Structure 1
């Protein structure tokens, strides 16, 4: 297939967790013989912050982990959809796009009709900012890919779309995999952004306070940490590492003994079954994971085996003690989580699901299942 993706950015993962998944999906699609073109806006917010804070050399470093990764920059005023979508078979438009772009692509689909068009939602705004999401004009879209069943169901209940599929995020195991462990440099690592005060109390209860109570050597990476957050980390003896390029996370996980997952409040309260991408990636790296409570309504994992659960701050302290003081238990939990990811939750699995959606939409099998480039070369 010729596949065109409109996303906020594929180059930058600065406060942009969807880039993690997108990169893995693009690579998997290309390895299967599909032609993929990614379009992102000029001067996108995430990319601007990345370059201003860390320099363009980070874009060169990205190529070491994703050789050949590329994008196309567009300006909404001059974007020529006739040219961009001339040969497209499938077009995916992410929810982190301008309403005008979403509407224009839908109108183009109505005029031409030669490709299938899907809207891709990977955020909680359908629940927490319903009016803003309702303003997206999906009239001429063939359906929605939603990263959880509760979001999928909402699109159908609100009549925002006629068709919707659940399409969870997953781990890009070409980058997220267990690295050789040599000497640990600390006990606990946490990678995540502070954000919009959506989980401040939870971060104190399940991360900062337990580290302080146990006197652990810990390091936290992420962006958008206000002064009061950095002060709390310092008082707990936690080293703040700032922004970490997503592709370096696996290397950092290998230096620590345990990590935790602290979901944002909207996911806990209104979005059961959606863990976000962080725990997928941590388990893919083979590090033991302990999570604060979230309801695994879609049975993606086996809580207690793939990861341990701490319902309170006191339980988090107990679970951290168990992992840090019992090597066989740490190995057992890490191994179980890793196996679950490899068997069910990789970008390859998600591309399989996307191909099934394409079949349902009526795209020809010869386009959905092309001969991979490697096979063509081998047969020659």
Structure 2
């Protein structure tokens, strides 16, 4: 197939967690000999922040982890959809795109033969409903939603007639267990502060337990306000700033445990959506402890793939268990990794996307080429 993707950024993961999944999907599609082109807005905020703070060198470094990864830049004023979408079979437009782009691609769809999907990977269908309702999906063939609850919102609100659940997953070509050459500390956490959407939770499940237990810990991420940095310093936690997403596996290998602290909108209104962070940790073979979230779609098995702490005191107990019991830690890491490898890789998600293409009646010869259809992954 010829596939065209409109996303916020392929090159930058500065405050842009979806870059992990997008990069993995693009590389997997290319490995299956699909023609893939990605378009991102010129002067996009994520890429601009990355370049302004760290320079162009980081873009060269990306190629070491994702050989041949390419993107294209567009300007809405000069964007020629007739040229970009010529002979396309499938077009995906991400929900971080401007309303004008979403509308224009939809209108172009009425004069073309490709199939067009809107891809939602965020909580704005709940937290910014007015903005999401303003997207004109009239001429789209459906929505790819990264959780059942998001899919149902699109259908209930009649924003679309068809929607498919398409969870994020781990790119195991980059996110895999690295050899532990030398342990540098007890706990590592990789994540952004979260726009005050989880401030209390970060204190209860991360900062306070580290301080109370006297752990050697390091935190990576961006957009940490002064009060957050002060709290980290007070707890004796080293702050590492922005970490390129592709370097996370190397950091996980230097520590004994990590935690997941979901943002409040996911816990309260979007059960079943863990975001990319647990996929990243589990695929790298590091023991994971999470703050509470409802795995409504049974992606994992709590207590086997990871431990769940209902409150700060339970988090401290779980941390003590993992740090003092090597057998328990290894068992947890092994089981979590196995679950990722069996069910939650970007290869699995491309299999699911190909099934959606079947439902959209794209020619199976274009979808699968010479591949035996019987090997396609079924969830």
TM-score range, shorter chain: over 0.9
Q: Is residue 156 of structure 1 aligned with residue 155 of structure 2?
A: yes
How far 1:277 sits from its partner (Å)?
Answer: 0.3
> Which residue of structure 2 lines up, in the alignment, with residue 365 of structure 1?
364
Contact persistence 1:32–1:371 (CA under 8 A): no
The answer to whether 1:126 aligns with 2:147 is: no
Deviations 1:193-234 (A, max 9, x none): 002100000000000000000000000000000000000000
Residue aligned with 1:119, SS:
strand
Matched, 1:69 2:62: no
Aligned position for 1:350: 349
Correspondence 1:244-255 to 2 at 5 A: 244-255=243-254
1:33–1:371: 8 Å Cα contact kept in structure 2?
A: no
For 1:209-224, list aligned pairs within 5 A.
209-224=208-223
Aligned CA-pair RMSD: 0.6
- 2:43 pairs with 1:43: yes
CA separation in 2, counterparts of 1:226 and 1:321?
29
In the aligned structure 2, how far is the partner of 1:117 from the partner of 1:5?
Answer: 10
Classify the secondary structure of the residue corresponding to 2:110: helix
- Asked if 1:226 is matched to 2:205, the reply is no
Aligned to 1:280: 279
**Residue equivalent to 1:9:** 9
Q: CA deviation at 1:111?
A: 2.0
How many residue pairs align between the two structures?
371
1:348 deviates by: 0.2
What is the SS of the residue equivalent to 1:111? coil
Query: Residue in 2 aligned with 1:169?
Result: 168
1:377 counterpart residue number:
none
What is the distance in 2 between the residues matched to 1:110 and 1:209?
55
Q: How does 1:1-380 map to 2 (within 5 A)?
A: 1-112=1-112, 114-371=113-370
State the shift of 1:371 in Å. 4.2
SS in 2 for 1:3: strand
Alpha-carbon distance in structure 2 between the residues aligned to 1:284 and 1:18: 16
3-state SS of 2:159 partner: coil
Q: Secondary structure at the match of 1:91?
A: strand
**1:150 touches 1:272 (CA, 8 Å); kept in 2?**
yes
**Cα distance in 1 for residues equivalent to 2:356 and 2:43:** 32
What's the CA shift string for 1:252-298, capped at 9, x where partnerless? 00000000000000000000000000000100000000000000000
In the alignment, the residues of structure 2 paired with residue 73 and residue 269 of structure 1 have an alpha-carbon distance, to the nearest angstrom, of 37
What displacement does 1:145 show?
0.1
Q: CA-to-partner distance for each residue in 1:64-84, whole Å, 9 max, x for gaps?
A: 000111101010000000000
Q: Distance in 2 between matches of 1:282 and 1:110?
A: 42
Q: Is the 8 A contact 1:34 1:370 kept in 2?
A: no
The runs of 4+ residues in structure 1 deviating greater than 4 Å are none
Determine if contact 2:194/2:263 at 8 Å carries over to the other structure: no
Q: Report the TM-score, using the length of structure 2 for normalisation.
A: 0.97
Whole-angstrom distance in 1 between the partners of 2:197 and 2:67: 36
Give distance in 2, aligned partners of 1:53 and 1:204: 27
Q: Distance in 1 between matches of 2:174 and 2:66?
A: 9
